Structure 1
Amino acid sequence: MASKFKGSADFDEQFLTCPVCMLHFRDPRVLPCLHTFCRECLREWATKQQPLECPTCRTQVSLPDQGVDGLRTNFYVNNLLDFAAVKKGAGPGVPCQVCQGKAEGARSWCVQCAVLLCESCTNTHRRFPAMKGHQIVTQENLEASEGVPSSFQRKAFCPKHEDQVLTFYCEPCQTLVCVSCTVVNHSRGDKHNPVEIGSVAERKKRDLQKLIANVEPREKDVRASLNEVERELSELPVSADAAIEQARAYFDQLMALLQDRKKEVVTEIVSRRQEVGKCLETQKEAIEFELAGLTSASEFCKQALEHGSDVHVIEVEGQARKRVEKLLTTPSDLTARPSQVVFSEGTAVVEFRDDVARAGRVQVRHTGKVDASKCSVEIRPAVVNFPNVSLLNTVDQNGQLCSVPKDDVTATLTDASGQAVPTQLQEKGRGFWEIFFWPTGNHRLEVRVNGRSVVGSPFDVRVQSRDTPVLTIGEEGRGEGELLYPTDVAVDMDGNTAVVELGNRVQIFDTKTGQSLRCFPVDGEACGFDMDSNGQFIVTLDNSLLSIGNQAIRVYSREGKLTKTLKPDCIRDPRGVAVLQDGRMVVADRTQQCCLLLQPDGSLIRDIGKGQLQDPRYIAMDESRDLFFVTDINAHKVFVFDLEGQLKFMFGEQGWNEGELYNPTGITVDPAGNIIVVNCDNGRLQVFGPDGTYLRTVATVEGRGPQGIALTPDNHIAVACFNGHCVEFYRYK
């Protein structure tokens, strides 16, 4: 919900008005779709309609057991209503609402009691123990404020201890509690864990920021598509009228012979214009509907972050997340649609006498005309027992992506004997197509658009073993595109592969082509490597025999410029590093046999794993579960800790067989929470479930001394091969 509050006394009446009764909100309640209405309006609406639908967006609503009374109160709207009332009623000469003007005029406002007080009554009010926690806002603060003061928020009191403010949150119970509750009903133990609401609210605020970030790209696309549909609607009459005029001119030359056919075609054009207009109007309505939902959800999250109290943020975050998830999982179709009605002559007039029955054609033309000679196909390396997806881009004569009917695109795959192999063809976006198939050997793929072969078609599709890398980057050396003892690998914000070398260098490669894009030097013997949320490179420097006392963490910009060096006293021999979204870091320290949780400035928060780890090497984060994973090369295990330092579980049995670990090094986590680990000695690249259960082996990296690994956006695993002086990519999905 967006705030339309402008200044010290101006409110947008529409923002404070219930869409049902068109009056100021009375006890505003929030539906799961994040739209707000008066409680009584919702009660009346619910008696008239079953199942209940939101009056604004028509989303079906399941009320809680308590009915409308069980819906959450919109605290922010209440605060604005209170503030508007106070600003309107706190002018000169307004009497105190307690002593009825027996003393001087009103000077203050009690947020909890919602009354104006004179100075004498304010002092008396503050002395009452039961009103000790009430928030008093002075007239000076009200007059000086440009907006709603941050202090102008009703404090939330405990329903069980009415004189106690809600200041704690019991995470197992997911309940806000007061100090007394933490002693009586929610004392810390196995079943309860009360924490101050400030830290919980900060986490919820970060979650709301993520929701906004998830909504904004789709909102941008929907808004752009809506503008495009509106433009096409405005241009539709022009193209249709032009077609009518062309048809009339054409048929006027045929005079009486074609008079009847002329009328038929004109009628058909008008009919088609109505059909196309109806189609566009329908899509416009669907896009506007989705845009309204996305905008409402985004604005609601923003206002919760900007104006909501900690209590409010905690209460609405889950509801907001459900709404956003529902919006993003049921998007409307933004792809191309029929947008023009055109007329074409067909046969020339002089040749047309015998074809009168077939005279004239009316077509609905899609924007952009595809040019097969400029379309392109990307053939991705095929791996045995893996599905393969090749990518087709359809473009117009100007090289711009354009959509075409599915029937105009064909993809024919044949095996070595000439037998056809089933394929699936699907447009994933305007001009973007996926050709999906499951290869069993070497094949040929022929792709045609509008009956014409795409440039390069037919294409050879060669299937290789899972143990053969689909791409190898680098060879031994110090030159551009060469590598010398790579220790770790990461994927930057542009999808490129960044490699750190023990030989004091970071080099960035194009993940698709393997071409070196740029490199920059590192002052020290680099070991661990990660990227922060701003795209900066975080590099740990090894404390080797040649550089004793040089252990440090260096931060480089996306361009490779050194921005800062961290030399905290707590580190001795840093190895792998993982950076959290908020900038904190977890560093494996080999000498101290533990991991260090550090602030962004390098100061120590806590050490983790002392007495449990023997030789920690590489680290992977799973912030969705607040866990991190560390490989222990001597223990032949993976240890799993939370950020509080508690060991959650560990897995791994020493051995060379599938599911066993032998000197594990690189580790990463996929979006589903599965854990990918590589053994240094036998090169086995394996996948384990979120609980450490063995799932499968991806590949075997033979004799390369694999170290750090990373998962690329196109589902390949990049492996830094220390002894092979290269980075190898293996198919993951």
Structure 2
Amino acid sequence: MASKIPRSAEFDERFLTCAICMLHFRDPRILPCLHTFCKECLQLWATKQQPLECPTCRKPVSLPDQGVDGLKSNFYVSNLLDFAAVKKGAGPGVPCQVCEGKEGGARTWCVQCAVLLCESCTNTHRRFPAMKGHQIVSQENLEASEGVPSGFRRKVFCPKHEDQVLTFYCEPCQTLVCVACTVVDHRPGEQHNPVEIGGVAERKKRDLQGLLEKVEPREKVVRAALSDVETEISELPTSADAAIKEATEYFDQLMALLQDRKEEVVAEIGLRRQEVGKYLEEQKEEMEFELAGLTSASEFCKQALEHGSDVHVIEVEGQARQRVEELLTTPTDLAARPSVVVFSEGTAVAEFRDAVAKAGCVQVTGKVDASKCSLEVKPAVVKCTNVSLLAIKDKNGQLCSVPKDDVTTTLTDPFGQTVPTQLQEKGKGLWEISYTPEVSDNHRLDVRVKGQSVAGSPYDVRVQSSHTPVLTIGREGSGEGQLSYPIDVAVDKDGNIAVLENGNKRVQIFDTKTGQSLRSFPVVGEYPFGIDIDSDGQFIVTSRNQLFSTDKQAIDVYSREGELTKTLIPDCLRNPNGVAVLKDGRMVVVDDSQQSCLLLQHDGSLIREIGKGQLQGPEFIAVDESRDMFFVTDFPAHKVFVFDLEGNLNFSFGEEEENEGELHCPTGITLDPAGNIIVVNYWNNRLQVFRPDGTYLRTVAMVKGEGPWGISLTPGGYIAVACSVGHCVELYTYK
């Protein structure tokens, strides 16, 4: 079968051209990287460059011991060159290159000698014994062939026996040999095994086909990527010009705002100048009138004293007194007055410079692939601010940035009404979509990037009433994911929920987003009650442990992996309930029996007792280190007490009632980042928020689960409530 090459009209000269000399190959040799160059060019290149690199791909080249001479010849390129020359020169009227046209025009081509022959020279050529094996291709075959004929290949002769063609392959030596070699240097035996090259070639072809099958998929990917890069290169000026236009408009707006503000301030300075000038003129006139009166009275009194008789003095004294008292009774205000118009910067130049330095951001990003974008939709609650997180990605699945105007979001309620949404960038390629639905039931959220719907859009957004938990974790039992009398909760460094189970005597960690159990570990106390996590991620657990004496209880410390690292047995501890760990390792522990809170060192030694004589039945505790204050729920007193870390009672709040804003056996307590106080009532299940000063703010929910105890606020904006009797943990949206 013919080995096809492009037709002569489509023949690519670059394929036959050496990349060094830019001429047709002369004795083409193949480098290990499979690039081909002229032998002479490579020899010259090797003398100029050490270490040697491929002129095309810059891959380092290690030449064989024979140097360039030891590189394999590219017979395929040689054949193509021969064929191209013959196709070009074997037309009608071309003379024989041996007899120079004396016997007739060229009719054949000798592949080995690379010459055109007439019919007479062809016959003579075939009679020479030394040329017996040469390949002769007729003109008819050349003209009829669209590719290189199968016979149009130079035979390869043995370098040791120049008249012998290489027809065998010695497997142990991995060398091509001729018939003579199989008799002398490669005689069959233990060290040599020459076989005919046909079978070996077929096996090598299969190997090459396997390599081709491996290369082709990657080649397609690279070609597609190259096409994309070329497209992106062509589109780069457009995107850069658009970015320049947007940046220009943005800064023009900033400068316009500054110019407008400048004109406002200058106009205000002019107005103030007029107002102050008018005021000063009026004050000047009043002072001049008063001064004229005072001067007149002074002159009158002086003249009466100097020139008046006794009778005259007596007559005018009363009139003078009346005038002077009148002048002194209503004096003009001589105090400091606005007399200078001063410009105040408001925002310091340095601060403004820093702000300007952050104005605008230039980013280089890939092309957005809407099919790779994703949206994390969280359960929503009526009349609460809810968020969904959009991740914008390119075709490789990498986060990429886009202008805000390229992202559109539309939320519709069950009645088809549009619910307003807000979009805020949270990082490269990450956008937070916030909305406040007014009704419950399913809503539809349509998200588009550059006009294309992201994968899965439109999304269903389930909107619940405020009293419905967005996620319920666990059910009664002792297996994985099951709970038995969960008593307290805490949030670990990864944002997961750590649940302390009084019934199963263990800590179980749950994924906040899915509610899936991640892992668990046992606790040693008989009656575990409170849990918190320190700055190193260790779990601090309080318990009443029957292994110790009845008047001494324990605080156990577990590693992040759940291994018990130490047990603290403070002499001062009797009946520990809730616990809160400070950043420096100190801890505040509620002691129900002693009706107080204990501030302890990290080793359990007592620093001070707080609340003695004021607390009746303290349960849980929350600390606000920014204000050096902590908050304690008092179950029988129906109050929250607020102390500082020095032991002083700052204030308390709460009344035993069933209404909103009132407390009825409060248990769990936590704080939000603004310092607001979140408390849950045990008896009526009301989850409420109070301002930092204790004034009622709002009710978050009526907890569905029975027996709410410990609570905690998650980074995702949910309140986790341990429902001991309900054997579950419920999450409520916190607005």
What TM-score do the two structures reach when normalised by structure 1?
Answer: 0.52
- Residues 490 and 499 of structure 2 are in contact (CA less than 8 Å); yes or no, is this contact kept in structure 1? yes
In structure 2, relative to structure 1, the CA distance for the partners of 1:710 and 1:418 (3 Å cut) is: same
User: Which residue of 2 is the match for residue 426 of structure 1?
Assistant: 424
In structure 2, relative to structure 1, the CA distance for the partners of 1:640 and 1:544 (3 Å cut) is: farther
Q: Distance in 2 between matches of 1:644 and 1:718?
A: 30
Question: Residue type matched to 1:714 in 2?
Answer: G
In structure 2, relative to structure 1, the CA distance for the partners of 1:372 and 1:637 (3 Å cut) is: same
1:407 counterpart SS class: helix
How far did 1:689 drift? 1.0
In structure 2, relative to structure 1, the CA distance for the partners of 1:726 and 1:376 (3 Å cut) is: same
Question: Residue type matched to 1:617 in 2?
Answer: E
Q: Distance in 2 between matches of 1:499 and 1:719?
A: 10
Residue 480 of structure 1 pairs with residue 480 of structure 2: yes
2:362 to 337, 359, 366: 337
User: Which residue of 2 is the match for residue 460 of structure 1?
Assistant: 460
User: Which residue of 1 is the match for residue 409 of structure 2?
Assistant: 411
In structure 2, relative to structure 1, the CA distance for the partners of 1:614 and 1:446 (3 Å cut) is: same
Residue 722 of structure 1 pairs with residue 704 of structure 2: no
Give CA-to-partner distance per residue, 1:51-103, whole Å, 9 cap, x none: xxxxxxxxxxxxxxxxxxxxxxxxxxxxxxxxxxxxxxxxxxxxxxxxxxxxx
Give CA-to-partner distance per residue, 1:121-178, whole Å, 9 cap, x none: xxxxxxxxxxxxxxxxxxxxxxxxxxxxxxxxxxxxxxxxxxxxxxxxxxxxxxxxxx
- Listed as ranges, the matches of 1:211-610 within 5 Å are 333=358, 337=362, 366-441=364-439, 442-502=442-502, 503-524=504-525, 525-542=527-544, 548=550, 551-610=553-612
How far did 1:326 drift? 7.7
How far did 1:418 drift? 2.5
1:620 counterpart SS class: strand
Q: Distance in 1 between matches of 2:230 and 2:593?
A: 80
- Please tell me whether Structure 1 or Structure 2 has the larger radius of gyration of its CA atoms: 2
Give CA-to-partner distance per residue, 1:539-579, whole Å, 9 cap, x none: 00125799845620000111111111000111010000111
1:624 counterpart SS class: helix
Q: Distance in 1 between matches of 2:706 and 2:690?
A: 22
Give CA-to-partner distance per residue, 1:563-600, whole Å, 9 cap, x none: 11000111010000111111111111111111111010
How far did 1:374 drift? 1.0
How far did 1:409 drift? 2.1
Residue 713 of structure 1 pairs with residue 715 of structure 2: yes
Which consecutive unaligned segments of at least 5 residues does structure 1 have? 1-238, 248-264, 283-321, 339-365
How far did 1:643 drift? 1.0
Aligned residues: 406
In structure 2, relative to structure 1, the CA distance for the partners of 1:692 and 1:419 (3 Å cut) is: closer
1:697 counterpart SS class: strand
How far did 1:452 drift? 2.4
- Residues 620 and 628 of structure 1 are in contact (CA less than 8 Å); yes or no, is this contact kept in structure 2? yes
Residue 662 of structure 1 pairs with residue 664 of structure 2: yes
674-683 or 381-390, larger mean C-alpha shift: 381-390
In structure 2, relative to structure 1, the CA distance for the partners of 1:693 and 1:535 (3 Å cut) is: same
How far did 1:391 drift? 1.3
Which consecutive unaligned segments of at least 5 residues does structure 2 have? 1-225, 252-346
Structure 1 residue ranges, 4+ long, deviating more than 3 angstroms after superposition:
242-247, 268-279, 325-336, 543-550
2:405 counterpart SS class: helix
Q: Structure 1 vs Structure 2: percent identity of aligned residues?
A: 66
Question: Residue type matched to 1:689 in 2?
Answer: R
Q: Distance in 1 between matches of 2:728 and 2:352?
A: 43
In structure 2, relative to structure 1, the CA distance for the partners of 1:481 and 1:330 (3 Å cut) is: farther
Q: Distance in 2 between matches of 1:437 and 1:269?
A: 35
How far did 1:635 drift? 0.8
1:462 counterpart SS class: strand
Q: Distance in 2 between matches of 1:526 and 1:457?
A: 47
Question: Residue type matched to 1:454 in 2?
Answer: V
What TM-score do the two structures reach when normalised by structure 2?
Answer: 0.51
- Listed as ranges, the matches of 1:629-668 within 5 Å are 629-668=631-670
- Residues 552 and 570 of structure 2 are in contact (CA less than 8 Å); yes or no, is this contact kept in structure 1? no
- Listed as ranges, the matches of 1:172-191 within 5 Å are none
User: Which residue of 1 is the match for residue 630 of structure 2?
Assistant: 628
Q: Distance in 2 between matches of 1:535 and 1:245?
A: 47
Q: Distance in 1 between matches of 2:482 and 2:645?
A: 38
- Residues 543 and 572 of structure 1 are in contact (CA less than 8 Å); yes or no, is this contact kept in structure 2? no
Q: Distance in 2 between matches of 1:245 and 1:664?
A: 63
How far did 1:272 drift? 5.1
Question: Residue type matched to 2:539 in 1?
Answer: F
How far did 1:405 drift? 2.7
Q: Distance in 2 between matches of 1:627 and 1:608?
A: 12
Give CA-to-partner distance per residue, 1:595-640, whole Å, 9 cap, x none: 1110100001111111111111101001111111111101111111
User: Which residue of 1 is the match for residue 210 of structure 2?
Assistant: none
- Residues 665 and 679 of structure 1 are in contact (CA less than 8 Å); yes or no, is this contact kept in structure 2? yes
- Residues 336 and 430 of structure 1 are in contact (CA less than 8 Å); yes or no, is this contact kept in structure 2? no
CA RMSD of aligned residues (A): 3.4
- Residues 682 and 702 of structure 1 are in contact (CA less than 8 Å); yes or no, is this contact kept in structure 2? no
In structure 2, relative to structure 1, the CA distance for the partners of 1:408 and 1:633 (3 Å cut) is: same
- Residues 400 and 429 of structure 2 are in contact (CA less than 8 Å); yes or no, is this contact kept in structure 1? yes
Give CA-to-partner distance per residue, 1:416-438, whole Å, 9 cap, x none: 23233332223222111122222
Q: Distance in 1 between matches of 2:533 and 2:591?
A: 19
How far did 1:407 drift? 3.1
How far did 1:334 drift? 9.4
Question: Residue type matched to 2:362 in 1?
Answer: R
How far did 1:406 drift? 2.8
In structure 2, relative to structure 1, the CA distance for the partners of 1:472 and 1:333 (3 Å cut) is: farther
Give CA-to-partner distance per residue, 1:204-226, whole Å, 9 cap, x none: xxxxxxxxxxxxxxxxxxxxxxx
In structure 2, relative to structure 1, the CA distance for the partners of 1:407 and 1:463 (3 Å cut) is: same
2:530 counterpart SS class: strand
User: Which residue of 2 is the match for residue 183 of structure 1?
Assistant: none
In structure 2, relative to structure 1, the CA distance for the partners of 1:395 and 1:244 (3 Å cut) is: closer
Q: Distance in 2 between matches of 1:402 and 1:390?
A: 18
- Residues 618 and 666 of structure 1 are in contact (CA less than 8 Å); yes or no, is this contact kept in structure 2? yes
How far did 1:333 drift? 4.8
- Residues 656 and 662 of structure 1 are in contact (CA less than 8 Å); yes or no, is this contact kept in structure 2? yes
In structure 2, relative to structure 1, the CA distance for the partners of 1:326 and 1:720 (3 Å cut) is: farther
Question: Residue type matched to 2:460 in 1?
Answer: D
2:371 counterpart SS class: helix
In structure 2, relative to structure 1, the CA distance for the partners of 1:270 and 1:466 (3 Å cut) is: closer
Q: Distance in 2 between matches of 1:699 and 1:376?
A: 31
Q: Distance in 2 between matches of 1:438 and 1:709?
A: 25
How far did 1:277 drift? 14
In structure 2, relative to structure 1, the CA distance for the partners of 1:605 and 1:246 (3 Å cut) is: closer
- Residues 572 and 592 of structure 1 are in contact (CA less than 8 Å); yes or no, is this contact kept in structure 2? yes
1:373 counterpart SS class: coil
User: Which residue of 2 is the match for residue 32 of structure 1?
Assistant: none
Q: Distance in 2 between matches of 1:394 and 1:717?
A: 29
Q: Distance in 2 between matches of 1:274 and 1:683?
A: 55
| Larger relative contact order, structure 1 or 2 (CA cutoff 8 Å, min sep 6) | 1
- Residues 712 and 718 of structure 1 are in contact (CA less than 8 Å); yes or no, is this contact kept in structure 2? yes
User: Which residue of 2 is the match for residue 306 of structure 1?
Assistant: none
- Residues 247 and 360 of structure 2 are in contact (CA less than 8 Å); yes or no, is this contact kept in structure 1? no
Q: Distance in 2 between matches of 1:396 and 1:644?
A: 56
How far did 1:337 drift? 2.5
How far did 1:330 drift? 5.4
Residue 674 of structure 1 pairs with residue 699 of structure 2: no
Question: Residue type matched to 1:559 in 2?
Answer: E
- Residues 705 and 730 of structure 2 are in contact (CA less than 8 Å); yes or no, is this contact kept in structure 1? no
Give CA-to-partner distance per residue, 1:433-461, whole Å, 9 cap, x none: 12222212332111122332222211112
User: Which residue of 1 is the match for residue 291 of structure 2?
Assistant: none
In structure 2, relative to structure 1, the CA distance for the partners of 1:335 and 1:552 (3 Å cut) is: farther
- Residues 543 and 574 of structure 1 are in contact (CA less than 8 Å); yes or no, is this contact kept in structure 2? no
In structure 2, relative to structure 1, the CA distance for the partners of 1:520 and 1:274 (3 Å cut) is: closer
In structure 2, relative to structure 1, the CA distance for the partners of 1:404 and 1:548 (3 Å cut) is: same
